[in-house]
Amino acid sequence: MSEKILLRHEDVANLRELDVYVSDGGYATALRVLKEREPEDIIEEVKASGLRGRGGAGFPTGMKWGFLPKDNPLRYLCVNADESEPGTFKDRQILEHNPHLLLESMVLAAYAIKCHKAYIYIRGEFAQGAKILEEAVREAVAGGHLGEDIYGTGFDLDVVVHRGAGAYICGEETGLIESLEGKRAYPRVKPPFPAVYGVFGAPTIVNNVETLCCVRPILERGAQWFKTIGPEKSPGPKLYCVSGHVERPGVYELPMGTNLRELIYDHCGGIPGGKKLKAVIPGGSSVPIFTADEIDVNMDFDSIAAAGSLLGSCGTIVMNEDTCMVRALRIIARFYRHESCGQCTPCREGTGWLERLMIGLEDGGANDRDVDLLMQVADNMMGNTVCVLADAAAMPTKSFVTKFRSEFEEHLQHGGCPQRSAEAMRASAHA
């Protein structure tokens, strides 16, 4: 796919400015749809496109919109721009370089679900992105693309950019809603789901930035066009965030279902320094890891799931042969311990316990049974909490230990990281 849809700013300079965006055909779709089409019709078109949520779960977007109860006219659209899964930095590209694509898509989505107030919950650390978005909102309102009586159609949409307060859990959609309401971001017990009880108790649709940004292209070119990109059951363009040991890390726009090996070796130029590949986390730090032998897999929701991992947020983290898997897991464990909101017992205590076990393995002091204990603790955490943060900590733990068990055993026998003590010995020999 040579034409860029989501990363069009890479082809058109200064696309973030309203004039440039409009002269590139921007807001024409919004104008046409608002004047010519019915909201129900839009939902049907999005359903027909097969668009699935890019935030991680891959839930069909049109279907989600259809869950809104018909009887409540007050409803909200909420954009999840709290991108914070380690290894993920795709939405940030759109927010900072192509904000009007998001805003136009929001107009279309809001029109479809008959909503007049939308929030963009943007990660607190994205100060630059928030500034750009706010400017874009101002421009769009001034240009008549947002605000009251858009294009004289009588449709209103007020967009509020809300900066997050800095916690990973604010990306969980109900944690996000709590945080937006000014509360501690404790994910809500479900049911009820946000489509029934969301922001301030009103029915709410929460969509990821990348997901929403597919809406304008779908309505511009049609559901059929969208379905021609990528596999039938999860079609469309996709942003891949590749980091770690590759020649050219970055965000790549490729069809959904791009092969992981091709992504690493063709698009990203392979592993630097002629090193061998050891492992790849395909979908952000929370998903099960692939070994070097397991990367002949297509990067779409169903294929990756069939291969035993998850597409997640498509944060692809590549590790070469020098990577200590114990250290890598310890870093992941530290992240989830630090980010657990502390609401549910298994997650609050389990994430801390996992990190403690990892510290023992890497620094020494671990007990013989600790590798097994890692697995048991992870098992006990999974599936037993309000949100999936516990699973996010447990899944990598289980897959790391299962696939690289010998490395963990080695740490145990050595009383710490053998690689690190070898480095320390070399350092002291030089001194």
Partner 1 sequence: MPKLEIDGQEVEVANGTNLVQAAEQLGTEVPHYCYHPGLPVAGNCRMCLVEIEKMPKLQIACNTRANEGMVVHTKSDRVLRARESVLEFLLVNHPIDCPICDQAGECKLQDYYMDHDRQESRIPLESKVSKGKAIDIGPMIMLDQERCILCTRCTRFLDEVTGTSELGIFERGNHCQIDLFPGVMLDNPYSGNVADICPVGALTNKDFRFRTRVWYLESTPSVCPGCATGCNIDIHHRSGEVFRYRPRHNPDVNSYWMCDEGRLSYKRYQGEGRLLQPVQRAGEDWQPIAWDAAVGRFVDVLKGDKRIAGVISAQSSNEEIFLFDQLVREQLSGQVAGHSWSPEGASSDELLIDGDKNPNTAGLTELGLTLDARKIIDSALAGEIDTLVLYGTDLTQVCTVEEIAELGDKLDAAIVLDLRYGPSLEIADLVLPIASYAEIEGSFINRQRRCQVLGRSMEPTGHSWPGWQLLTKVAGSLGAPSHDSASAVFERIADKHAAFRGLTLAGLAGLGAPLGGATSGDG
Residue pair 61/234 in contact by the 8 Å Cβ criterion: no
Among 126, 240, 353, 404, indicate the residue that binds partner 1 (CB under 8 A).
353
Q: Which is nearer to partner 1, 185 or 325 (CB)?
A: 185
Question: By C-alpha distance, which of 415, 396, 414 is closest to 404?
Answer: 396
> Applying CB under 8 A, does 93 fall inside the site for partner 1?
no
> Applying CB under 8 A, does 383 fall inside the site for partner 1?
yes
> Applying CB under 8 A, does 189 fall inside the site for partner 1?
yes
Q: Which is nearer to partner 1, 93 or 340 (CB)?
A: 340
Tell me how many residues contact partner 1 (CB under 8 A): 28
Backbone angles phi, psi at 208, to 5 degrees: -75, 155
> Applying CB under 8 A, does 340 fall inside the site for partner 1?
yes
Q: Tell the smallest beta-carbon distance from residue 198 to partner 1 (Å).
A: 17
> Applying CB under 8 A, does 297 fall inside the site for partner 1?
no
> Applying CB under 8 A, does 167 fall inside the site for partner 1?
yes
Q: Which is nearer to partner 1, 89 or 168 (CB)?
A: 168
Q: Tell the smallest beta-carbon distance from residue 382 to partner 1 (Å).
A: 9
Concatenating the DSSP letter of every residue in 331-342 gives HHHHHHHHH--S
Degrees, nearest 5: CA angle 58-64-66: 150
- Which 3-state string (H, E, C) describes 265-282? HHHCCCCHHHCCEEEEEC
> Applying CB under 8 A, does 421 fall inside the site for partner 1?
no
Residue pair 195/204 in contact by the 8 Å Cβ criterion: yes
Overall residue count recorded for the chain in this entry:
431
> Applying CB under 8 A, does 331 fall inside the site for partner 1?
no
Give the start-end residues of each E strand in 294-395.
Answer: 298-299, 315-320
Q: Which is nearer to partner 1, 32 or 184 (CB)?
A: 184
Residue 97 token pair:
């370089």
> Applying CB under 8 A, does 356 fall inside the site for partner 1?
yes
3-state SS assignment for residue 369: coil
Q: Tell the smallest beta-carbon distance from residue 357 to partner 1 (Å).
A: 10
Q: Which is nearer to partner 1, 232 or 372 (CB)?
A: 372
Cis peptide before 69 (omega within 30 of 0): no
> Applying CB under 8 A, does 78 fall inside the site for partner 1?
no
- Which window, 40-48, 75-83, 110-118, 338-346, contacts partner 1 (CB under 8 A)? 338-346
Residue pair 188/177 in contact by the 8 Å Cβ criterion: yes
> Applying CB under 8 A, does 350 fall inside the site for partner 1?
yes
Backbone angles phi, psi at 407, to 5 degrees: -65, -40
Q: Which is nearer to partner 1, 126 or 186 (CB)?
A: 186
Angle between helices 99-113 and 39-49 (to 10 degrees): 120
Question: By C-alpha distance, which of 342, 363, 338 is closest to 416?
Answer: 363
Q: Which is nearer to partner 1, 128 or 345 (CB)?
A: 345
> Applying CB under 8 A, does 341 fall inside the site for partner 1?
yes
Question: By C-alpha distance, which of 61, 58, 133, 114 is closest to 304?
Answer: 58
Q: Tell the smallest beta-carbon distance from residue 369 to partner 1 (Å).
A: 8
- Which window, 18-26, 88-96, 263-271, 350-358, contacts partner 1 (CB under 8 A)? 350-358
Residue 419 token pair:
């690689």
> Applying CB under 8 A, does 174 fall inside the site for partner 1?
no
> Applying CB under 8 A, does 201 fall inside the site for partner 1?
no
Which residues of this chain interact with partner 1, rule CB under 8 A?
167, 184, 186, 189, 337-346, 348-353, 356, 369, 373, 380, 383-386
